[in-house]
Structure 1
Amino acid sequence: MNLKWYFLFCIAILQSVTVIARSSGQNPGPKYYYLEDSTRSLRADQALKAYVNGHFSPLSTGALNPGFTNSDYWLVLELDSNYRKEQGVFVIDNAHINEIQAYYLDSLHEEALTPRYVTGDFHPFAQRPIQYNTFAFPLRQKTTTYLFKIDKHFESLQAPFYLTNYARLLASVATEELLNGIFTGILILIVLFGLFLFLNTREKVYLYYAGYVLVITLWILSNKGIGFHYLWPNSHFFPSRARPLFAMLNIVLMIGFLQSFIQQPRKSWFFIPLKILQYFALIICLVIICPVEYTRFGQYSNYVQHTMSLSTLALVALFLGSIVEKIKQGSRPALLYLVATVVLLCFAMLESLYHLGKVNLPYLLAHYGMFIGVVLEMVIITLGLTMRFNQYRKEKLVLLEELNQQQAKLTDTIVAVQEQERKEIADRLHDEIGAMLSVASLQIDSLSQSMDIQKLYHTRSMMNEISNTVRNISHQLTPIVIEKYGLRKAITDLVDNTNLPSNFKVEAIIIGLEEPMPLQFQFTVYRIIQELVQNAIKHAKAKNVLLQVVEHEDAINIEVTDNGQGVADFENKKEDALFLRSVRAKVAYLHGIMETNSSQPSGMSILIEIPKNY
């Protein structure tokens, strides 16, 4: 597997990233101020006036992080003269702001303000001033004050920002594209690997796995703005919905994968709650993709987002409960899954804390923590699935070997039965036809000496008997009546011929068998019934036999009941038990099932069900 080589190559690339990242720190000169517009009605000139009058609050950190909010926010960037000498770029490092209006102020007393740039998720990607995954605004050397309106009302807002220049931004873009390509390539390989395992095993756990990795990859791409940049750049509907949609789909597929991977039984305390959460997440997905403008619903939209957060917390609780439950039962896959998930959560938590402005991290962890965590999680789980697949192959080989052994036994039985049938035919030819031919020969010799009409009639009668015997044996070998009239008529003739002697009685009940069926199938079913009836009389020494043949839509049921000595007595005799092996072999050939029941002290019942589409 080449995933480890991709990962090692990725680590080597990341060594150089840290050097680039350390050189892109913030210039201490800029100052930031913000104002919350809870009415969402301020115009740009009113916001500027509020700033001039000192109503803006200073930001001590390079991040605006109000969390879930119903307000708009105004942000002011003040530059000193030293920084204006560089070709600067102001970056708002959040790819998911609905709208940003950027005003470049040459004076603090302007009245008619027009935004220089209007961009965001509600606008095509081409409106970005710089084609960058997040929001990058070029700065002018003559401008000292910049005013930004940030609109993400009824949603969660986290907006870290920093100053850089074109050279560092271009270097960062090149590095990000390389790393994004590497990590995305690894995850796509894992998706293809999961599909490969599914196509080979048809186990849904691998399909859930491939879907889970694909959806979480799409979530990461949308979270980093790559999806909007490259996959849906002209959409004004999907960019703001991509992350919540993929997050909810991730819950759906993660639950399916979890329950399949750890083989959670239905009787588990967590099975039903997880299923309820899974269907609830599907409903949320339908709400998200509903083609309506969700910002019009105000607080209700906020409720949906809070519900999504609660769903995630519920998933974590049920996930941990399910994992711990299976670990206590000694499940190695559950332990492996727990380790993989802990790795992902650690990296995801670090990146989240960075974007919340709570911790300072190296560039690698700050911007690729989620990517790294997902890759590590998937590598660990892939190892577990590979072990599972190898176990599946071993079990399949064992089953194949057992099947071959059963086939060999079946072949041996068929050969033994054929030899027994040949022996019986030879005995009949020798005992019946041979004896009659000898008598007929003597009669013919006698006729050669004297013409006795009585002897002639007797000889002709004997020759007719020989002819009838040969015909009966021929019909037993190949029942021609099946080809001419069908299986039902053949069984009826068999019963009638068996009833010719008066010392036993065979009663037949036949339902169906009127529609045409494959000829070989009819021959085999006839042989089974023939052996059951004949051996009930011959081996079980029965005086009364009841034969029931019922045709259903998808199967044929055969039941033979007699009042003979019982199966226990003659199964102990090798010469008498062979017929059971013969019948079982034929039933197995037709993929049917056979049961024998013995009534003590006498009597036996044999039940057979044969599928019609064998």
Structure 2
Amino acid sequence: MQRALLLTCLLLLRLAAAAQAPVFEVFEDTSRHMQAGAVHAAYQAGQFKPLSSAYLNPGFTKSIFWVALTQPPQTGEWYLVADNAHINHLEFYAVTDSIRLLHVTGDFHPFFQRPLVYNTFAFPLAPRAPLYLLKTDKHHESLQAPLLLRTREALQRQQVTETLVNGIFTGVIVLIILFGIFLYLTTRDAVYGWYALSVAAALMWIWSNKGLGFHYLWPDSVFFASRSRPLFVVLNLTFSLQFLTAYLGIKRTWPIRVAQAVWLLFAVLILWPVPYTNFVHLSMPIQQALPIFSLLVVCFMGWLLVKEVRQKNSAALIYMLATLVFIIFVVLENLYHLGRVQLPEFVAHYGMFLGVVLEMIIITFGLAARFNSYRKEKETALLQLARQQKELTDTIVTVEEKERKALADRLHDEIGAMLSLTSLQVNAGNTAQAGLLLKDISSTVRNISHQLTPVAMEKYGLRHAIEDMVQLANGSGKIHIELVIIGFSKEKEFPPNFLHTLYRIVQELLQNILKHAGAGNVLLQLVELEDSCTLLAEDNGKGMHLPPEGAGFLRSISAKVAYLEGAMNIDSSPGNGMLVNIELPLPVKPNT
């Protein structure tokens, strides 16, 4: 008996507490023209429906919703909080013996028109009233509004915490943006620039979503307040897709180009300087189409990631891991707002911010690894270039030594022998024969001098020197060389070292053909282009099998071509002659 009495008392106390607890009820005004008096009459007629979870969430709607707060607390300073920073128009009424309009606010009004300087909407429950009515107008858009009752002290503590946490997260993301800009300026790799832009757009979207942008950046722009979120969403998606293709090294195929074009079109429509409330029937389908289209593109991006991960692309694996972390926090926060899960307060309020920060940190580590790899590759390339330059220098020195030895042998064998014969003829008193020998010596010395520093080139230029050399070769009657020179009419504009080296290349090509090719006909062609020149030598000689490392007797020519930063290709086979094609970049002219 006593136990039954105790249970009855507990039940009565619970019912009494429930009778005194605040209750939220909602009424849908489909006409969007009802005034507060008519809505109050609807409340008295029992047309309001209870909100069991204190969460107004009709989604995309064409109606206006009125929330009734019954049995509000009667002691202390309390606030009714509509925890959504993006409700277009709100009106707050106190109902006593009359209906009194207390506050008008929303993101269609300047920020500081709010009754409390707060990123969402907080209405003081003053004066005391048994019933409050809150008009929430976001017709032809998606409406979600968690409804909370907070004391003044609790709201102030929450404001301080939010300011601190938002500041910390914002600082971290700004550092990530600066890191991306630094990498871009250091490497000039576009992937880091797109990354910085995508992170910046994500940060601005978070600030817009939390009402921070309206609070601190554009408090008087009611035009931009309701457009900032969708704008930064499409910009983030556009930049993220551009970054993803550059980061993974994949081509921008037509689906990617179409997606970016559609998003940019959405951005133009969002910023079109006309109030979209004038086109509500058109704007609502556009707002519904944007998330559907974006979801399809995100699925496509996921497919690209999976494909790249299967191909052992480590960059894709890092990006997928970062994206999964962000998606987990997004899903958790949405489930929390829908009342489906219970989360720690920190995760519930800052899950989106935390997800973005973790995603960006993971991707930043991936980019840092990429930058480190880039640095190592650059160092390796520099070492390889240094080795190639050393090998080139060694080859040039070796060739020069061989040329000096050949010159010394020729001077010793030819000039020395002829001088000895001349000396004998002079001593024998045979002056006529001695004169003939001296004439031969003079001719030989002239030929050697011509090979060392062509007199014709010094006097008349490269064209005449090559023509003179070809004329001497054709004069032997053993070979016919067809010479074609186009350009090089203003040779003095080029550095002498370039012209001399080019002449040596032509000279050695002809010498190799005369000594080794056994050819009867040769085509020699030199053409000056806008910023390069081409040299082609083709003969009908015996040809040869080319080893993988190239013909050994052309090594000297190859070294000179490499010295001029050019490229040489050789095509030859036994019985089919040889074709040598050389491309050389033209040096910067000294007088330009």
Q: CA deviation at 1:302?
A: 0.7
- Structure 1 residues 104 and 497: CA distance shift in structure 2, 3 A: farther
For residue 479 of structure 1, what is the amino acid of its counterpart? P
**Structure 2 counterparts to residues 239-258 of structure 1, below 5 A:** 239-258=225-244
In the alignment, is residue 42 of structure 1 matched against residue 18 of structure 2? no
2:519 is aligned with 1:559? no
Rounded Cα–Cα distance in structure 1 between residues aligned with 2:455 and 2:78: 99
Q: Does 1:119 align with 2:105?
A: yes
Q: How many Å separate the matches in 2 of 1:602 and 1:311?
A: 63
Give, in whole Å, the separation in 2 of the partners of 1:120 and 1:490: 87
> Offset at 1:226?
0.9
217 and 613 in structure 1: CA distance in 2 versus 1, 3 angstrom threshold? farther
The reply to whether residue 609 of structure 1 matches residue 583 of structure 2 is yes
Match of 2:555 in 1: 581
Deviations, residues 11-48 of structure 1 (Å, cap 9, x unaligned) = xxxxxxxxxxxxxxx99732222222222222333333
Q: CA deviation at 1:437?
A: 3.4
User: TM-score, normalising length from structure 2?
Assistant: 0.89
The aligned counterpart of 1:9 is none
- Residue 424 (structure 1) aligned with residue 406 (structure 2): yes
Give 3-state SS (helix, strand or coil) of 2:565's partner: coil
Partner of 1:600: 574
Instruction: Select the residue among 486, 492, 499 that pairs with 1:511.
Output: 486
Answer 1 or 2: higher relative contact order, Cα 8 Å, separation at least 6.
1
Partner of 2:331: 349
- The answer to whether 1:527 aligns with 2:527 is no
- CA deviation vs aligned residue, 1:50-88 (integer Å, no higher than 9, x gap): 3344333232222211100112222232344xx232122
* CA drift at 1:397: 3.2
Report the more deviating stretch, 188-197 or 236-245. 188-197
Task: Report the CA distance between 1:555 and its aligned residue.
Answer: 2.3
Give the AA of the match of 1:601.
Answer: G
**Structure 1 stretch 524-533 or stretch 209-218: which is displaced more?**
209-218
Runs of 4+ residues over 6 Å off in structure 1: none
Equivalent residue letter for 2:343: L
1:205 equivalent in alignment to 2:205: no
Name the residue aligned to 2:74. 84
Distance 2:164 2:187 in 1: 35
Shift of 1:139: 2.6
Q: What SS does structure 1 have at the residue aligned with 2:389?
A: helix
Structure 2 CA distance for aligned equivalents of residues 27 and 387 of structure 1: 62
C-alpha spacing 1:433/1:577, structure 2 compared with 1 (3 Å): farther
Amino acid at match of 2:64: D
Q: 2-side partners of 1:493 and 1:120: how far apart?
A: 91
Q: Distance in 1 between matches of 2:510 and 2:19?
A: 101
Question: C-alpha distance in 2, partners of 1:144/1:200?
Answer: 65
2:347 pairs, out of 359, 365, 369, with: 365
Q: Secondary structure at the match of 1:85?
A: coil
- Give the match's secondary structure for 1:75: strand
Equivalent residue letter for 2:515: K
Distance (Å, rounded) in 2 between the aligned partners of 1:186 and 1:480? 71
Match of 1:192 among 178, 181, 190: 178
1:175 to partner: Cα distance: 0.8
Could you say which residue in structure 2 is the equivalent of 1:32? 24
The answer to whether structure 1 residue 401 and structure 2 residue 387 are counterparts is no
Distance 1:597 1:224, change over 3 A: same
Q: Is the 8 A contact 2:541 2:575 kept in 1?
A: no
2:320 pairs with 1:338: yes
Task: Please give the alpha-carbon distance, in whole angstroms, between the structure 2 residues aligned to 1:395 and 1:369.
Answer: 39
Q: Which of the residues 53, 62, 65 maps onto 2:54? A: 62
d(CA) in 2 for partners of 1:141 and 1:288?
A: 40
Residue 301 of structure 1 and its aligned partner are, at CA, apart by 0.5
Q: Which amino acid aligns with 1:542?
A: A
Deviates more, 1:592-601 or 1:432-441: 432-441
SS in 2 for 1:121: coil
Q: Is the 8 A contact 1:85 1:141 kept in 2?
A: no
Establish whether residue 389 from structure 1 lines up as the match of residue 394 from structure 2: no
SS in 2 for 1:86: coil
Instruction: Answer whether contact 2:23 2:69 (CA < 8 A) is retained.
Output: yes
What pairs with 1:430-509 in structure 2 (closer than 5 Å)? 430-445=412-427, 455=431, 459=434, 462-463=437-438, 465-482=440-457, 484-509=459-484
1:181 aligns with 167
Q: Indicate conservation of the 8 Å contact 1:65/1:357, yes or no.
A: no
Aligned to 2:14: none
> Cα gap change, 1:133/1:478 in structure 2, threshold over 3 Å: closer, same or farther?
farther
Deviations 1:323-372 (A, max 9, x none): 22223333333333222222211111111122334444332121101111
Which whole-Å deviations, capped at 9, do the CAs of 1:206-241 have from their partners, x for residues lacking one?
Answer: 333222222111111111111111122221221111
Using the TM superposition, give the Cα deviation of residue 550 of structure 1 relative to its aligned residue in structure 2, in angstroms.
2.0
Q: Secondary structure of the equivalent of 1:607?
A: strand
1:105 CA displacement: 3.9
Matched residue SS, 2:554: helix
Q: TM-score, normalised by structure 1?
A: 0.86
One-letter identity of the residue aligned with 2:297: L
* SS in structure 1 of the partner of residue 31 of structure 2: coil
Partner in structure 1 of residue 4 of structure 2: none
Shift of 1:587: 1.2
2:276 counterpart of 1:276:
no
Equivalent-residue separation in structure 2 for 1:384 and 1:492 (angstroms): 60
Partners of 2:447 and 2:121 lie apart in 1 by 95
C-alpha distance in 1 between matches for 2:237 and 2:114? 32
Contact kept in structure 2, 1:482 and 1:522, CA below 8 Å: no
Match of 1:167 among 136, 150, 153: 153
Q: Per the alignment, in what secondary structure is the counterpart of residue 517 of structure 2?
A: coil
Mapped contact 1:567–1:597 kept (Cα < 8 A): no
Inter-partner Cα distance in structure 2 for 1:445 and 1:428: 25
RMSD across aligned positions (CA): 2.8
Letter in 1 for 2:302: L
Question: Deviations along 1:254-286, whole A, 9 cap, x unmatched?
Answer: 2223333333467xxxx5433322222222122
Q: Secondary structure at the match of 2:223?
A: coil
SS in 1 for 2:74: helix
Q: 1:295 to 1:415 in 2, by over 3 A?
A: same
Change (3 A) 1:607 1:48: same
What code does the residue aligned with 2:571 have? N
Give the AA of the match of 2:477. S
One-letter amino acid matched to 1:540: A
Q: State the shift of 1:466 in Å.
A: 3.9
Q: What is the CA-CA distance between 1:580 and the residue it aligns to?
A: 0.5
Q: CA deviation at 1:157?
A: 0.5
Q: Secondary structure at the match of 1:54?
A: coil
2:280 is matched with which residue? 298
Deviation of 1:609 after TM superposition, in Å, equals: 1.5
Residue 506 of structure 1 aligns with an amino acid whose one-letter code is I
Opposite residue 581 of structure 1, the aligned amino acid is R
What is the rounded CA distance, in whole Å, between the counterparts of 1:539 and 1:532 in structure 2? 11
Structure 2 CA distance for partners of 1:375 and 1:463, relative to 1, 3 Å: same
Q: How far apart, in 1, do the equivalents of 2:262 and 2:268 lie?
A: 10
Between the aligned partners of 1:480 and 1:69, the Cα distance in structure 2 is 93
Q: How big is the shift at 1:414?
A: 0.9
Q: Residue deviations 1:367-413, cap 9 Å, x none?
A: 10111111222222223333333333333333333323322221221
Q: Matches of 1:262 and 1:612 in 2, distance apart? A: 37
SS of the counterpart of 2:396? helix
Deviations 1:119-140 (A, max 9, x none): 2222222212211111122231
Structure 1 gap segments, 5+ residues each? 1-25
CA contact (8 A) 2:536 2:579 kept: yes
| Aligned residue in 2 for 1:309 | 291
Report SS of the residue matched to 2:191: helix
